[in-house]
Amino acid sequence: YTILSKVHSDRNVYPSAGVLFVHVLEREYFKGEFPPYPKPGEISNDPITFNTNLMGYPDRPGWLRYIQRTPYSDGVLYGSPTVENVGKPTIIEITAYNRRTFETARHNLIINIMSAEGDFPLPYQAEFFIRNMNVEEMLASEVLGDFLGAVKNVWQPERLNAINITSALDRGGRVPLPINDMKEGVYVMVGADVPFSSCLREVENPQNQLRCSQEMEPVITCDKKFRTQFHIDWCKISLVDNTKQVSTFQEVIRGEGILPDGGEYKPPSDTLKSRDYYSDFLITLAVPSAIALVLFLILAYIMCCRREGVEKRNMQTPDIQLVHHSAIQKSTKELRDMSKNREIAWPLSTLPVFHPVTGEIVPPLHTDSYDNTSMPLMQTQQ
């Protein structure tokens, strides 16, 4: 049902196209690549993480995925190779990082994808959503074997293969809350060579469709064969019959709005001629700077060198106007000086008349010679 292999240096594996491929990166193997703890006899339990990528590229092929929950758990490479990759060896670089000593170890995994035996792909495919499993739990050989055994018991096919496994998070699911040991959920696609059984077809009944629309569990007779270990969401099951699918390809009729075929894209040559940017520099920087400098000099000449001054203004002003202006200034200054020296009595309305406690007449608080220009209008009561 699945190809399960251990990690070894420069290991060759031979998965089949359209069949689930699983490769486990075991921490126990890589522990021998790193030095042990200083104390002899102590069990080494270093945190180890893995990085996987296609040789010469920063990431893995599109069909291959990788998961590792914690640095203290094994890593898993899994995916379903496609027909396009048949016959093309894929070299995956596996780099192990020791998070205690910061040392690394690298191994190569050579994946030689083989063509599947018999009809490929299998014409009848069903995708189940298992709510009580995470993807790394489902990838274990014994768990996946139990699930395929339950499906085979319900479906009764001659050939049954696990095609692909996908985490619910990759389908837009949310990360579950860390309570009650909640799981993310996993989608498992299997293929068979016989039509779907009546049990699997029960989900298409109108009654079950109505219950699914009301967010209620449908009534499936074979659910008890899965319920002991797998909680399947029957409302999310997908049944695909490739024998009845009609090609939806339509010939494109060229007309308005469709560009003609221009052939293959031809990128420019690697050997490009050098370009002189001196003229561009003169146009974009030198010319505007020169114009701004000329305008600045003209403005400076007008403001600094063309000032008439006070003397020239007085020479162009009639004498009688200057005499009048001077007389007005002198009169204004004389009035201001006289207003500072004047002495007047305070208004009676601003002075206290009776003492607030004894009721006696209160004399003025200032003398006649006091400078009233520096005193406030309202006096403080004593």
64 and 93 co-located in one domain: yes
What's the confidence (pLDDT) of residue 83? 83
Domain that holds residue 224: 124-241
pLDDT of residue 78: 93
Query: What was the pLDDT predicted at 3?
Result: 42
Whether residue 244 is predicted with pLDDT greater than 50 in this model: the reply is: yes
Instruction: Give the least confident one: 85-94, 138-147, 268-277, 372-381.
Output: 372-381
Q: Is residue 370 over pLDDT 50?
A: no
pLDDT of amino acid 6 = 43
Least Cα distance to 208 among 229, 236, 173 occurs for 236
HEC string for the chain: CCEEECCCCCEEECCECCCCEEEEECHHHHHCCCCCCCCCCCCCCCCEEEEEEECCCCCCCCCEEEECCCCCCCEEEEECCCHHHCCCCEEEEEEEEECCCCCEEEEEEEECCECCCCCCCCCEEEEEEECCCCHHHHCCHHHHHHHHHHHHHHHCCCCEEEEEEEEHHHHCCCCCCCCCCCCCCEEEEEEECCCCCHHHHHHHCHHHHHHHHCCCCCCCHHHHHHHCCCCECHHHCEEEECCCCCCCCCCCCCCCCCCCCCCCCCCCCCCCCCCCCHHHHHHHHHHHHHHHHHHHHHHHHHHHHCCCHHHHHHHHCCHHHHHHHHHHHHHHHHHHHHHHHCCCCCCHHHCCCECCCCCCECCCCCCCCCCHHHCCCCCCCC
Within-domain flag for 296? no
CATH number for the domain harbouring residue 38 = 2.60.40.10
* 206 plus 134 within the same structural domain: yes
Which pLDDT does position 68 carry in this prediction? 92
SS3 state of residue 212: helix
335 falls within a domain: no
Q: Is residue 8 predicted with pLDDT exceeding 50? A: no
Give which of 31, 136, 34 is closest to 75, Cα–Cα: 136
Per-residue pLDDT, 304: 82
Mean pLDDT (whole number) for 347-361:
62
For residues 144 and 191, membership in a common domain is answered with: yes
Per-chain mean pLDDT for the chain: 80
Domains held by the chain: number: 2
Residues 6+ apart with CB under 8 A from 104: 95, 96, 97, 98
Instruction: Report residue 317 as tokens.
Output: 């002003």
Which single residue is written with the structure tokens 């069949």?
Answer: 19
Q: Listing from the earlier edge strand, what are the strands of the sheet with 3-5? A: 3-5, 21-25, 75-79, 64-67
Is the pLDDT assigned to residue 106 strictly greater than 70?
yes
Q: Does residue 215 surpass a pLDDT of 90?
A: no
Q: Is residue 298 part of a domain?
A: no
User: In the prediction, which pLDDT does 93 show?
Assistant: 92
Lowest-confidence range among 4-8, 158-162, 285-289, 305-309?
4-8
167 C-beta neighbours (distance < 10 Å), count: 18
106 assigned to some structural domain? yes
Q: Cα torsion for 215, 133, 164, 25, to the nearest 10°?
A: 160
Query: Do the Cβ atoms of 45 and 101 come closer than 8 Å?
Result: no
Q: Which two tokens stand for residue 262?
A: 């221009």
Residue 181: pLDDT band by 50, 70, 90 thresholds? confident
Please compute the mean of the pLDDT values over residues 223-237 and round it to a whole number.
Answer: 88
Report the pLDDT value the prediction gives residue 2, as an integer from 0 to 100: 41
Percent above pLDDT 70 for the chain: 77
Last residue of a domain, one of 182, 208, 241: 241
Which is more confident, 315 or 38? 315
- 12 shares its domain with 59: yes
pLDDT digits (tens, 9 = 90+) for 40-83: 556 667 889 999 999 989 889 988 999 998 999 999 999 988 88
pLDDT at 53: 92
The total number of residues shown for the chain amounts to 382
21 beta partners: 3, 79
Which of the four pLDDT bands, split at 50, 70 and 90, describes residue 318? confident
CATH of residue 163: 3.30.70
Q: Which letter does DSSP use for residue 192 in this model? A: E
Regarding whether 198 and 136 lie in a shared domain, the answer is yes
CA distances from 354 to 227, 361, 382 (A): 105, 5, 11
Using the predicted structure, report yes or no on whether residue 197 has a pLDDT greater than 80.
yes
Least confident of 21-25, 73-77, 210-214, 354-358: 354-358
* pLDDT of residue 99 exceeding 90: no
Residue 274 placed within a domain: no
pLDDT-based confidence at 7, cuts 50/70/90? very low
Pairing of strands 75-79, 64-67: antiparallel
For the cut 70, the answer to whether the pLDDT of residue 372 exceeds it is no
How do beta strands 160-167 and 90-98 pair?
A: unpaired
Name residues whose C-beta falls within 8 Å of residue 307's C-beta, 6 or more positions apart in sequence: none
Do residues 101 and 160 share a domain? no
Residue 151: which of 237, 22, 64 has the closest Cα?
A: 237
